[in-house]
Amino acid sequence: MLSLRTAARHHGVALRPDLPVHNLPLHRRLPSGTRPIQTATVKDADIARLAAKPLHPLTLADLCKNGRPPLSKQSLLSNANFTLSILPSRLAHRIQSLRSLPYIVVANPNVNKIHNNYVHSLSTLLPYAERKIETLEEEIKFTEAMADLVQTHSNTIAILAKGFLEARKYISKDEVTKFLDEHLRARIGTRLIAEQHIALHMSSKPHNDLSDQDQHKEDEDSSFIGVIDTELKPAALVRACENTVGEICELKYGVRPTVQIVGSPDATIAHIPMHIEYVLTELLKNSFRATIEAGMEKEAIEITIAPSPPPPEPAGKPSTSPEDLPIDPATNTPAAITTHDQGAVDAASSSPKPTASTSPNIRPLSHATPGVTIRIRDRGGGIDPSNLAKLWEYGFTTFNEDEIHDKTSGSGGGGMAGLDMLSGGAGQGSELAGLGYGLPLGRAYAEYFGESVGVGD
Amino acid sequence: MRVSARNLLKNTLDLPPSLRTQAYATAANTSAAQPCTVPPWRPSNVLDDWVARDVRPISLRQLTFFGRTLTEPRLLESANYVRLELPTRIAHRLRNMQTLPYTALTNEHISHVYELYYGAFERFRKVSEVRNLDDNDRYCAVLKQTLNEHLSVIPRLAMGVLEIQDTIGPDQSDLLMKTLLRSRISRRVIAEQHLALTETFHSPWHFPNAKKPATLTPEDDFVGEILLKCNAKEIIEKCAATATQLASKAYGSEVAIPKIVLQGHLDTTFPYIPSHIEYIIGELLRNSIQAVIEQKGSSEPPPIEVLICEAAQHVIIRISDQGGGIERDVLPYLWSFAKGPRRYRRLENLATVPRLKATMQELEPGAASHSDKVKHGSSLSSLSSRPPELRLGMGLPMSKIYAKYWAGSLELHSLEGYGCDAFLQISRLGNKNEVLTTRASMDAV
């Protein structure tokens, strides 16, 4: 129990979404194998039965409904039972979805590993199935199962990407995109639920009774509800991402562009830091690379943070939409993220999906808290019109086929491994570009609760 | 309504999420008892190479012409043609199966067939060039062994297809069956033809350069498996006798069996593979006899009329019965392997089809005539001799595939409440190529 708490002591800076665990600093690593997780054999009948249940559409309200930490014992158990009620069927849906892919794709060792990971995770949850969690001991074991789940699936995207790259002869790009869109969006939700429970567990009363006084005080003042930061400062995130991406840049190119923040740097919103961090990192990676390769590293990349005024009534016109952005086709490539904390619904369940890529902001709901628009403007030369259509495809990258061979051959060369270790990771892969997942995945994160990403060229 | 919507979809992934939950629920009810058999992993580049090759289809005429003057170089040429064609054709079908959804391929029946095919592929592709008669003998042994092993493929495939209906719709599964069976026929034709040619070559009365003896022996009409002069009348009479015999055994001696009356051009002949044509006509006659008996009862049953019509390039055989026609609810599924309302009963029946080779001697001790020449088991003859109660639901779709294989056709016209007319059309000249699934159409699929 102590090690679990130590591990999450800095729960305020939550886990990065898709980072290989070995890249985390020691104190942030989850305990692996401190206690063996109880598993049950997963039968096909179990999967079929669980997949037959409809998916519960996840909302931000769901994540916060058990109150602000520190949580009482009742609230904690209630959260555990809520998590338990929706996770198994989400996992079962993922397994069925994987099994609907052509056999030869699922037989690929990488894709197969991911499939087996999901079956394993379901096996850790089956012992709790059909029961309610009623004691703190059970809840601790359950949280360990959550930790195991988060850890097992931390590297899913890189492995899946490699698998689909290897199997590209046997499945069309459209099918891959369709499958990944749904799968990765669902994955966001599943991880979120698990990480939220772990974070709430860490900051709850029963588990902190034995801790030192400082920690207790820290928790009471914290602005966090689990993984949600109610006083998140986008500007701080931007600076953090700028640093990380800048380091990789320097490693690869020897120079790094600067970033200038304009607008309202002091604006705060309530959101999940790691999601926004991921999107920002991917966009900055693109911008930095384009800027340097266009020879414009002296020019600062301008990032505007514009808090949206609270709308007078629901369904009001949104503050900015991509069409409003000033466009200078010759030199400018503004990319806009709009985050509206709306308590809207995640798109991976049966509720209607938001429409295509550059859809403007979704209408905020009546109880919307103010959101923010972040615009990233670089002078990296723009996007080639022929590539515009493929922007949102998974696996599309302007790196050439030789690089792809490097990635699939597995040897990769010492260079990549070195980058892996040194850069401490910013998003998956930790090299500057190449897997082709940054934009579509970034959009998935941004759109998860109904926000959007737009690209103006 | 849900059924027809499913017909249009290739895959559960195409369904919107809300309907997909429904589909999983249906699958949950049916799949609870089905075991999942995962084939072992293999590297795909080996298969890729063979899939990239094109098949070289062949026609009846080419086969007969080739086998007429049988010399050693000819025999070795035939061996090498078969040696390369078989792995290529199997590789194409393996690739078809690999692109099925994972859930479909891991069904125990489908994966059993997949493993059989993969084993055969591995065996065939490793055969080196046939340079002399000893090589040929070794190769023929491999062929015989594989032909025997694969006797159970047809009922297994049919069962598997019925079980995976929730994963792939009826359209896709029919296409799969058609492609697989068509290819299977083609492989067995060229393999059995080569085996028969080898046997002829080695038989004591074969002298490649000798003049034809004065008295024509029946063996002269055969070139390997192909009977150059299939006599329509004889074949129909033979099938009629078999079908009648089986029916009287099954229904008992008190029940009157309808007579089968032949009309038309009774001395028509055409080149064909006897087992194929016997299967088709056998199935049609059995259906007719069954329909007549079960409709009219034991009074004087109206005869089944068979008309043979000879045209310049075709032979058309019409089988007319007064068995009451085809029921409404069965009609849409007549030619499909994915049966509709009768699905579960068919599945049960298929499970009882014995290992086909074993039953050939059991059910029909004296029946085999031309099949005497065939030393290895023939999957068709044992299917033909199954008891009438064993309704597998495969006779019509299979017959159609066989008919179309040499560019013929099979059609059925039902007069509801009265009877049925079946029209079998066969090409007379034997110069049409095998109808195979080519690479282009395969990629489109």
Comparing A314-328, A400-414, B349-363, the range with the smallest average pLDDT is A314-328
Number of C-beta neighbours around residue A178 at 10 A: 14
A355 falls within a domain: yes
Confidence tier at B369 by pLDDT (50, 70, 90)? very low
- Strand A452-455 relative to strand A333-339, pairing: antiparallel
Residues A216 and A235 in one domain: no
Beta bridge partners of B424: B317, B410
> Dihedral sign, CA of A437, A439, A442, A448?
negative
Tell me the DSSP string of A141-184: HHHHHHHHHHHHTTTHHHHHHHHHHHTTTTS-HHHHHHHHHHHH
CB within 8 A of A452, min separation 6: which ones? A337, A338, A354, A358, A359, A360, A361, A362, A443, A446
Q: Quote the pLDDT of residue B26.
A: 61
Q: Quote the pLDDT of residue B298.
A: 61
Residue-wise pLDDT for B293-345, tens only, equals: 888 766 788 999 999 999 988 999 999 999 888 888 888 888 988 876 677 77
Tokens of A403: 């690089």
Share of chain B above pLDDT 90, in %: 31
Residue-wise pLDDT for A365-379, tens only, equals: 323 456 788 888 888
Residue of B nearest to A115 (CA): B102
> Dihedral sign, CA of A118, A272, A19, A21?
negative
Residues A121 and A260 in one domain: no
Reduce the DSSP state of residue A217 to 3 states and report it.
Answer: helix
Scan for tokens 């069962």, then name that residue: B159
Across the range B130-153, mean pLDDT stands at 90
Residues A274 and A203 in one domain: no
Q: Report how far residue B139's alpha carbon sits from residue B82's, in angstroms, rounded to the nearest whole number.
A: 10
Q: How far is B13 from chain A (nearest CA, A)?
A: 7
Across the range B364-371, mean pLDDT stands at 37
CB within 8 A of B180, min separation 6: which ones? B93, B96, B97, B157
Residues A161 and A277 in one domain: no
User: Of 2.40.110.10, 3.40.190.10, 1.10.10.10, 1.20.140.20, which CATH number belongs to B2-209?
Assistant: 1.20.140.20
A373 φ, ψ (degrees, to nearest 5): -110, 130
Return the higher-pLDDT residue of B207 and A60: A60
Q: Decide if B305 contacts B261 (C-beta within 8 A).
A: yes
CA angle B331, B332, B336 (to 5 degrees): 105
- For chain B, what are the domain ranges? 2-209, 220-427
In terms of C-beta density within 10 A (0-12 exposed, 13-18 middle, 19 or more buried), how is residue A279 classed?
A: buried
**What CATH number is associated with residue A56?**
1.20.140.20
Q: Report how far residue A362's alpha carbon sits from residue B170's, in angstroms, rounded to the nearest whole number.
A: 40
Reduce the DSSP state of residue A102 to 3 states and report it.
Answer: strand
Residue-wise pLDDT for B314-327, tens only, equals: 999 999 999 888 88
| Residue A78 identity | S
In the listed set A172, A200, A225, which residue is the last one of a domain according to the structure? A225
In terms of C-beta density within 10 A (0-12 exposed, 13-18 middle, 19 or more buried), how is residue B180 classed?
A: buried
The partner residue sitting opposite A52, judged by closest CB among B28, B35, B102, is B28
Confidence tier at A295 by pLDDT (50, 70, 90)? confident
Share of chain A above pLDDT 70, in %: 65
Whole-number average pLDDT of chain A: 71
Residues A292 and A351 in one domain: yes
Q: pTM surpassing 0.90?
A: no
Q: Which of B116-130, B352-366, B381-395 ranks highest by mean pLDDT? A: B116-130
Q: CB A44 to CB B24 under 8 A?
A: no
Residues A262 and A196 in one domain: no
Q: Quote the pLDDT of residue A362.
A: 33
Tokens of B186: 């083609």
Q: CB A44 to CB B31 under 8 A?
A: yes
Reduce the DSSP state of residue A394 to 3 states and report it.
Answer: coil
Q: Report how far residue B398's alpha carbon sits from residue B150's, in angstroms, rounded to the nearest whole number.
A: 17
Q: Quote the pLDDT of residue A102.
A: 93
Give, as one character, the DSSP assignment of residue A53: S
pLDDT exceeds 90 at position A409: no
Confidence tier at A321 by pLDDT (50, 70, 90)? very low
Q: CB A107 to CB B27 under 8 A?
A: no
Q: Quote the pLDDT of residue A330.
A: 35
- B269-272, strands of its sheet edge to edge: B222-223, B226-231, B269-272
Across the range A90-116, mean pLDDT stands at 93
Reduce the DSSP state of residue B425 to 3 states and report it.
Answer: strand
The partner residue sitting opposite A48, judged by closest CB among B24, B101, B106, is B24
Share of chain A above pLDDT 90, in %: 11
The partner residue sitting opposite B18, judged by closest CB among A99, A109, A350, is A350
Q: Decide if A406 contacts A412 (C-beta within 8 A).
A: yes
Q: Decide if A168 contacts A57 (C-beta within 8 A).
A: no
Residues A199 and A347 in one domain: no
Which segments of A254-342 does DSSP mark as H helices, in order?
273-293
Distances in Å between the alpha carbon of B345 and those of A309, B26, B338, B339?
Answer: 67, 18, 12, 10
Q: CB B21 to CB A51 under 8 A?
A: yes
Comparing A320-324, B85-89, B417-421, the range with the smallest average pLDDT is A320-324
Q: How far is A107 from chain B (nearest CA, A)?
A: 6
Residue A93 with chain B: CB contacts under 8 Å: 24
A324 falls within a domain: yes
Residues A57 and A25 in one domain: yes
Q: How many domains does chain A have?
A: 2
Q: Quote the pLDDT of residue A185.
A: 87
Q: Quote the pLDDT of residue A317.
A: 35
Confidence tier at A390 by pLDDT (50, 70, 90)? confident
**What CATH number is associated with residue A364?**
3.30.565.10
Across the range A450-455, mean pLDDT stands at 65
Distances in Å between the alpha carbon of A350 and those of A73, A129, A447, B18, B21?
Answer: 33, 23, 15, 5, 9
Confidence tier at A91 by pLDDT (50, 70, 90)? very high
Nearest to B290 by CA among B265, B340, B255: B255
Q: How far is A42 from chain B (nearest CA, A)?
A: 12
Confidence tier at A401 by pLDDT (50, 70, 90)? very low
Q: What is the CATH number of domain B220-427?
A: 3.30.565.10
Between A and B, how many CB-CB pairs are < 8 A? Answer: 85
Confidence tier at B34 by pLDDT (50, 70, 90)? low
Range of the domain at A386: 228-455
Interface test with A, best of B102, B118, B163 (most A CBs within 10 A): B102
Return the higher-pLDDT residue of A111 and A365: A111
Q: Report how far residue B157's alpha carbon sits from residue B163's, in angstroms, rounded to the nearest whole number.
A: 10
Residue-wise pLDDT for A119-156, tens only, equals: 999 998 888 877 788 888 888 888 988 898 899 898 88
Residues A337 and A379 in one domain: yes
Q: How far is B167 from chain A (nearest CA, A)?
A: 8
Tokens of B77: 């040429």
- 3-state SS of B304-319? EEEEEEECCCEEEEEE
A95 falls within a domain: yes
Residue of A nearest to B47 (CA): A104
pLDDT exceeds 90 at position B9: no
Residue B31 with chain A: CB contacts under 8 Å: 44-45, 48
